[in-house]
Amino acid sequence: MQQTPDPAHPRAANPAAARHDVVIAGAGPTGLMLAGELALAGVDVAVVERRPRQDLVGTRAGGLHARSLEVLDQRGIAGRFVAQGRMVQAFQFAGVALDFGGLASRHAGVLALSQVHIERLLAEWIAELGVLVHCGDEVTAFAQDDDGVAVERAVGAPLRARYLVGCDGGRSRVRQLAGIAFPGCEASVSNLVAEVELAQEPPWGLRRDAAGLHSLARTEDGQRVRVLLTERQVGGAAEPTLGELAQALAAAYGSDFGVHAPAWISRFTDATRQAAAYRQGRVLVAGDAAHVHPPDGGQGVQTGLQDAVNLGWKLAQVIRGVSPDSLLDTYHAERHPVGERVLRNARAAIALRAGDPRTLALRELMTELLSMGEPRERTAAMMAGLDIRYDFGDGHPLLGRRMPDLDLRTAGGPSRVFDGLRDARPLLLNLGEPAGLDIAPWAGRVRRVDAAAVGTWTLPAIGPVTPPAAVLVRPDGHVAWVGEGGDAGLAPALTRWFGAPAAG
């Protein structure tokens, strides 16, 4: 990591403030991923994290969907996660089983791996990349000016950055201080989750009643009990207590089973909210800071990781002066609709959760529908994040979608598409006449690979598509241009995404 002051930086308002290109508030999955993306692109980034250590108390996300594994694969680190988890084909969406098998991805399925391990592996990765994380500190205030952001911390000295990104979770201080509205639906239901010990043997498994879903299961090591309870009334914002957990157990099961020794107790609600703007000048928000929703469908970590991968290369190009600052506006334009859809699905899942006879009938109907070919494949592709299409205009079905990871034959031997994205640089994949496309004015920024693709071009939920003669792939893996036998539109696409042509 770059530690010396960069002479290209604007003068800090506080000359004592340490300077960075980007300061990230929060080292959850989103902040860690963004830090990695920026470090790969050679950007000087510092992370401020409230927790004294990376260790996560309690369990949150239980796994990674296919597109998340793909974005990690694009950077060459998916194997670390796969080695520590367990791939499963079926997944529950609000009590409805959804089969992910057969999706056109190397990572079809869900990797069961808890968030504590996801964060640990991401933290190890960014440590290898030399990113500095200030743990046990927090961003308390900031002030933007024309040149940068002065960031105040609770413990450490102020920092100065070109951009500040709030990856600081659902109650994001950064979002609030930036004055970004957070509209959405209030909580109508709350759930308690905990890991505890029980003095008496309870009935294991799922239970539904008029309040909703409850479950009791042993932890993986068999030492404790993982509890999920739907509360009869929406709980408050304060940390839940053992007394509240005992009451909720008694309300759901008629006994508190002698609950004691909680490792942790937490509460989540069905509130869904989304930031009205993902950017306010030099301040951006990502992950839960930009969107909150209940965990049904397991979308929170995935959406945050993909926000980070969308934003990282754009910030890097703006900081390096390759692209105008307006490139950052495409972050909101592309990711806000994705977040909106995640919230819509979460609301549908909440409606399907209830235990009354009408909802039961609806869930049975959904189960039937989601076992049929096309509805299953479309819904699975959507939940896996494999069907996302950014609006780059009309054209070939690949345009705006994620590039499939096909096997390639190159002069240097066999390869894969994702091999070309390891270092988060743009990629021109020329599948036609070798040396047929001239990208000399962008050669310093865009990697060019001449290759032949092996296998069929199949997109999840769409099916086979016409093989392209060339594709321009952004560092986030989305296709920015498709060549169909010439270079029509290539120079404008290169300029739009990767800056004006270099002189000479």
Ligand X SMILES: Cc1cc2nc3c(=O)[nH]c(=O)nc-3n(C[C@H](O)[C@H](O)[C@H](O)COP(=O)(O)OP(=O)(O)OC[C@H]3O[C@@H](n4cnc5c(N)ncnc54)[C@H](O)[C@@H]3O)c2cc1C
Note the residues at the interface with ligand X (CB under 6 A). 25-31, 48-51, 60-62, 115, 138-139, 167-169, 173, 193, 268, 287-288, 295, 298-302, 304
Min dist. Cβ of residue 167 to ligand X (A): 5
Are residues 195 and 225 in contact, defined by beta-carbon separation less than 8 angstroms? Answer: yes
What span, in angstroms and rounded, lies between the C-alpha atoms of 127 and 489?
40
Min dist. Cβ of residue 390 to ligand X (A): 21
Are residues 404 and 457 in contact, defined by beta-carbon separation less than 8 angstroms? Answer: yes
> Rounded to whole angstroms, what are the CA distances from 105 to 70, 232, 460?
8, 42, 8
Nearer Cβ to ligand X (308/316): 308
Nearest CA to 202 out of 167, 181, 229, 175 is that of: 229
Nearer Cβ to ligand X (50/80): 50
Nearer Cβ to ligand X (26/420): 26
Min dist. Cβ of residue 317 to ligand X (A): 23
Phi/psi for 110 (5° steps) reads -125, 135
Nearer Cβ to ligand X (167/382): 167
Quick one: tokens of 390? 């950014």
CA 26 to chain centre: 14
Nearer Cβ to ligand X (12/23): 23
Q: At what angle do helices 300-319 and 66-74 cross, to 10 degrees?
A: 30
Min dist. Cβ of residue 90 to ligand X (A): 14
Are residues 137 and 49 in contact, defined by beta-carbon separation less than 8 angstroms? Answer: yes
Nearer Cβ to ligand X (18/139): 139
3-state secondary structure of 197: strand
Quick one: tokens of 502? 């270099």
Min dist. Cβ of residue 210 to ligand X (A): 22
Nearer Cβ to ligand X (225/439): 225
Are residues 485 and 466 in contact, defined by beta-carbon separation less than 8 angstroms? Answer: no
Instruction: Give the residues across from 205 on adjacent strands.
Output: 216
What span, in angstroms and rounded, lies between the C-alpha atoms of 356 and 361?
9
What span, in angstroms and rounded, lies between the C-alpha atoms of 61 and 116?
8
Instruction: Give the residues across from 190 on adjacent strands.
Output: 269
The Cβ of residue 320 has, within 10 Å, a number of other Cβ atoms equal to: 15
Min dist. Cβ of residue 30 to ligand X (A): 3
What span, in angstroms and rounded, lies between the C-alpha atoms of 312 and 34?
6
The Cβ of residue 396 has, within 10 Å, a number of other Cβ atoms equal to: 16
Min dist. Cβ of residue 294 to ligand X (A): 8
What span, in angstroms and rounded, lies between the C-alpha atoms of 21 and 320?
10
The Cβ of residue 468 has, within 10 Å, a number of other Cβ atoms equal to: 21
What span, in angstroms and rounded, lies between the C-alpha atoms of 177 and 73?
35
Nearer Cβ to ligand X (143/500): 143
Nearer Cβ to ligand X (287/339): 287
Nearer Cβ to ligand X (61/227): 61
Min dist. Cβ of residue 339 to ligand X (A): 11
Nearer Cβ to ligand X (21/168): 168
Min dist. Cβ of residue 158 to ligand X (A): 14
Are residues 308 and 281 in contact, defined by beta-carbon separation less than 8 angstroms? Answer: no
What span, in angstroms and rounded, lies between the C-alpha atoms of 472 and 488?
12
Min dist. Cβ of residue 122 to ligand X (A): 10
What span, in angstroms and rounded, lies between the C-alpha atoms of 294 and 60?
11
Nearest CA to 204 out of 182, 227, 186 is that of: 227
Nearer Cβ to ligand X (229/398): 229
Min dist. Cβ of residue 56 to ligand X (A): 8
Are residues 489 and 392 in contact, defined by beta-carbon separation less than 8 angstroms? Answer: no
Quick one: tokens of 227? 């509890």
Tokens 């509205």 sit on residue: 181
Nearer Cβ to ligand X (48/252): 48
Min dist. Cβ of residue 437 to ligand X (A): 39
